[in-house]
Amino acid sequence: MSFFFKSFLLSSFLIFVNITLNAQQVNLNNLFLSENIRFNQLGFYPNAQKIAVVSADSLTKFEIITAKENKIVFSGNLQPSTNVALNGKKTLIANFSDFTKPGDYIIYIPDMGYSYQFSIKNDVFADLAKGTVKAFYYQRASMALPEKYAGPWFRNAGHPDNKVLIHPSAATEKKPTGTIISAPRGWYDAGDYNKYIVNSGITTGTLLSLYEDFPSYVKKINLNIPESSNKVPDELDEILWNVRWMLCMQDQDDGGVYNKLTNAFFDGMVMPEITKLPRYVVQKGTSATLDFAAVTAQASRIFRKYETQLPGLSDSCLNAAKKAWDWAIKNPSMSYDQNSMNNKYEPKITTGGYGDRNFTDEFIWAAIELYLTTQNEKYYTAVNILPDERMPLPSWNNVRLLGYYSLLRNEAALKNNQKTDAEIIKKRLLKMANDFIEGASSTAYQTVMGKTNRDFGWGSNANAANQGIVLIQAYQITKDKKYLDHALSNLDYLLGRNATGFSYVTGFGSKTPMFPHHRPSAADRIKEPVPGFLVGGPNPGKQDGVALPSMVADEAYTDSMNSYAANEIAINWNAPLVYLVNAIQALQYECGYSKN
Ligand SMILES: [Ca+2]
Ligand SMILES: [Ca+2]
Ligand SMILES: [Ca+2]
């Protein structure tokens, strides 16, 4: 008989004695922490749904016990899930939504063990909400991060980007190969140190949209960043670090925007100040230019209210947006094909491509943002805003919904055709949300995310967050709480109620990624990775060739530094998480999850 089994029997006996002597208390000595009890590791709002999913067979009961004295405060039955998980097995569901008392707790399952500790309280995601935005501060290029703001992750400045070379692919008569331009600031894109306009586009648009949807909430966020004492909301200050870089990526001669600012090849896993490789701006493109136009048009609208603090910024953004638009109208199909570019020019560029070939969605997004900011119908009528009925979940190469969201959030100001279009989009968005939630409660993890294998490609965790945003838009339109409940279920998914038991955000949760594919996290002297980053998540595609513990779609994840296909971080994955968690925080009182 193994030691563990003996201690298991002994502890069962002790529990029996304990429960007999004192029905209210559980003795956890000699019991095991079980990673098979999966739930949101940060916890729950007092009046929100509370679900843990247990990966096991034939257990019947669960108890909620206090974290300190292990007193039983709630008992329930485990219910088998209606459907099997993607691995073919049913799970057991512990639903303790009826238990609403704030405090710190543990889930105890007789014959299995106990869970991580969690909280029930108002504002339960406040630190995460801030931390996911603060993550962008840690990605800032061209500045040092002092300890005062960065804590243990302080570091020197990297990539000043004030002497950037025009790559031959971007050369013009006025700016021939080797011309030096300055394009400092911006966020490092992901685990690498390059800066890509296409991926910055969706990221910055998503972050601006959080402000546009919840301005009074966002104004209260204090990030402890160098700009925290100015009179601009910190989230906007953080966004501005990237917008100011983006503005430098436009060629003032013609309005076109370079695809990226990059090394010729990826840096090693070193700190940012170590790398001194030449930096280039590479080839202008239609996607980059239209994403730029959309972001700067939206930024112009938002920063108009901060004219006193940031004089001239709103106008600069709008002028940049108009010039970019005009360039794209003249160059409507300039794709970025890195391989064919490398056949023509030296040095060859082998960093991220973000090569998009379909510009319908970028035209829609830019047209809507420019129309909303200028009220000039020429932008709106220049493209077919509703070319078909599709509602593609946002990704770096498909930004159609970002335009649709903006149209809906500014609906009150619409007239004529725009109003009619908004009504059509609203119906489609609600259908999309209804399709998401249909059957979600019958799944093994009771989440919208993971209903099918199709949810699990590269960056699957961002899909979960973007599905959450769709559901929040549906809630905003209808004020029907069911949509918000399902958005929250996807946040629960990301924070631990899933097939791997990971909370996928660095530094937030009990079992979190420790080895993300992220150069500063790998190269600094700190054991804990830089906090607040969403890793890509389960992806059976294995594009990096790193072995995975399972090829079941929702289990295809490994916490390995080499796994850029499952464990990298990226700004376009963090942004929808920022939106999801902050929107839920903003709505927690309105919808009754928390009460004053
Ligand atoms: Ca500020
Ligand atoms: Ca596209
Ligand atoms: Ca580290």
Q: CATH number, domain at 17? A: 2.60.40.10
At 21, the pLDDT band (50, 70, 90 cuts) reads very low
> How high is the pLDDT of residue 24?
87
How far CA 313 is from CA of 72, 208, 282, 373, in Å, comes to: 58, 15, 26, 14
18 vs 326, residue with greater confidence: 326
> How high is the pLDDT of residue 402?
98
Task: Tell me which of 413, 435, 469 is where a domain ends.
Answer: 413
Q: Indicate if 69 and 196 belong to the same structural domain.
A: no
Place of tokens 């004192």: 22
> How high is the pLDDT of residue 91?
98
Place of tokens 């769709």: 470
* Packed helices 126-138 and 234-248: angle between N→C axes, nearest 10 degrees: 30
Q: Indicate if 55 and 168 belong to the same structural domain.
A: no
Mean pLDDT of 72-95: 97
Task: Tell me which of 380, 413, 446 is where a domain ends.
Answer: 413
The two structure tokens encoding residue 590: 């309105």
| Ligand with the closest atom to the CA of 286 | 2
Q: 69 CA to middle of ligand 2, Å?
A: 56
Residue 276 belongs to a domain: yes
At 319, the pLDDT band (50, 70, 90 cuts) reads very high
Q: 499 CA to middle of ligand 2, Å?
A: 32
> How high is the pLDDT of residue 22?
47
**Which one of the listed residues 517, 518, 554, 555 is annotated catalytic?**
517
Q: 263 CA to middle of ligand 2, Å?
A: 24
Q: What is the DSSP string of 96-164?
A: -TT----EEEEEEETTTEEEEEEEE-TTTTHHHHHHHHHHHHHTBSSS-B-HHHHGGG-B------SSE
> How high is the pLDDT of residue 545?
97
**Which one of the listed residues 235, 237, 362, 568 is annotated catalytic?**
568
Mean pLDDT of 264-270: 96
Q: 55 CA to middle of ligand 3, Å?
A: 32
Q: 139 CA to middle of ligand 1, Å?
A: 18
Residue 208 one-letter amino acid: L
Residue 130 belongs to a domain: no
At 284, the pLDDT band (50, 70, 90 cuts) reads very high
Those residues whose beta carbon sits under 5 angstroms from the ion ligand 1 are: 227, 230, 232, 234, 237
Q: Residue-wise over 540-577: b if at least 16 C-beta within 10 A, else e?
A: beeebebebebebbbbbbbbbbbbbbbbbbbbbbbbbb
Q: Indicate if 181 and 307 belong to the same structural domain.
A: yes
At 19, the pLDDT band (50, 70, 90 cuts) reads very low
Q: Indicate if 15 and 152 belong to the same structural domain.
A: no
| Ligand with the closest atom to the CA of 198 | 2
Q: Indicate if 105 and 203 belong to the same structural domain.
A: no
Q: Indicate if 37 and 153 belong to the same structural domain.
A: no
Mean pLDDT of 42-54: 98
Q: Are 336 and 283 in contact (CB under 8 A)?
A: yes
| Ligand with the closest atom to the CA of 335 | 2
Q: 260 CA to middle of ligand 3, Å?
A: 27
Residue 340 one-letter amino acid: S
Residue 151 belongs to a domain: yes
Is residue 48 over pLDDT 90? yes
Q: Indicate if 234 and 153 belong to the same structural domain.
A: yes
At 216, the pLDDT band (50, 70, 90 cuts) reads very high
Q: What is the pLDDT of residues 324-383, one digit of tens each?
A: 999 999 999 999 999 999 999 999 999 999 999 999 999 999 999 999 999 999 999 999
2 vs 393, residue with greater confidence: 393
Q: Indicate if 328 and 378 belong to the same structural domain.
A: yes
> How high is the pLDDT of residue 548?
98
Based on the residue annotation, tell me whether 235 is a catalytic residue of this protein.
Answer: no
Q: 205 CA to middle of ligand 1, Å?
A: 19
Based on the residue annotation, tell me whether 568 is a catalytic residue of this protein.
Answer: yes
Residue 483 belongs to a domain: no
Residue 467 belongs to a domain: no
3-state secondary structure of 433: helix
| Ligand with the closest atom to the CA of 359 | 2
The two structure tokens encoding residue 50: 């509370």
> How high is the pLDDT of residue 30?
87
Residue 296 belongs to a domain: yes
**Which one of the listed residues 189, 369, 544, 559 is annotated catalytic?**
559
Q: State percent of the chain over pLDDT 90.
A: 94
Q: 4 CA to middle of ligand 3, Å?
A: 34
Mean pLDDT of 168-174: 98
Is residue 1 over pLDDT 80? no
- Give CA–CA dist 315/332, Å, rounded: 25
Q: Give the 3-state secondary structure of 339-408.
A: HHHHHHCCCCCCCCCCCCCCCHHHHHHHHHHHHHHHCCHHHHHCCCCCCCCCCCCCECCECHHHHHHHHH
The two structure tokens encoding residue 146: 């002092």
Residue 112 belongs to a domain: yes
Mean pLDDT of 77-101: 98
Q: 2 CA to middle of ligand 1, Å?
A: 59
- Give CA–CA dist 572/119, Å, rounded: 29
Closest among 190, 136, 195, 86 to 458, alpha carbons compared: 190
Q: Indicate if 109 and 158 belong to the same structural domain.
A: no
| Ligand with the closest atom to the CA of 220 | 1
Q: 95 CA to middle of ligand 1, Å?
A: 41
Based on the residue annotation, tell me whether 559 is a catalytic residue of this protein.
Answer: yes
CATH number of residue 247's parent domain: 1.50.10.10
Q: Indicate if 82 and 146 belong to the same structural domain.
A: no
- Least confident span in 9-13, 165-169, 225-229, 405-409: 9-13
Is residue 215 over pLDDT 90? yes
Q: Indicate if 229 and 82 belong to the same structural domain.
A: no
Q: 230 CA to middle of ligand 1, Å?
A: 5
Q: What is the pLDDT of residues 98-117, one digit of tens each?
A: 999 999 999 999 999 999 99
Residue 569 belongs to a domain: no
Q: Indicate if 146 and 220 belong to the same structural domain.
A: yes
Q: What's the domain range around 105?
A: 3-120
Domain count, the chain: 2
Is residue 7 over pLDDT 60? no
CA 24 to chain centre: 41
Task: Tell me which of 413, 431, 461 is where a domain ends.
Answer: 413
Closest among 354, 446, 449, 337 to 393, alpha carbons compared: 449
Q: 245 CA to middle of ligand 3, Å?
A: 27
DSSP code of residue 2: -
**pLDDT, the chain, mean:** 96
- Give CA–CA dist 348/336, Å, rounded: 14
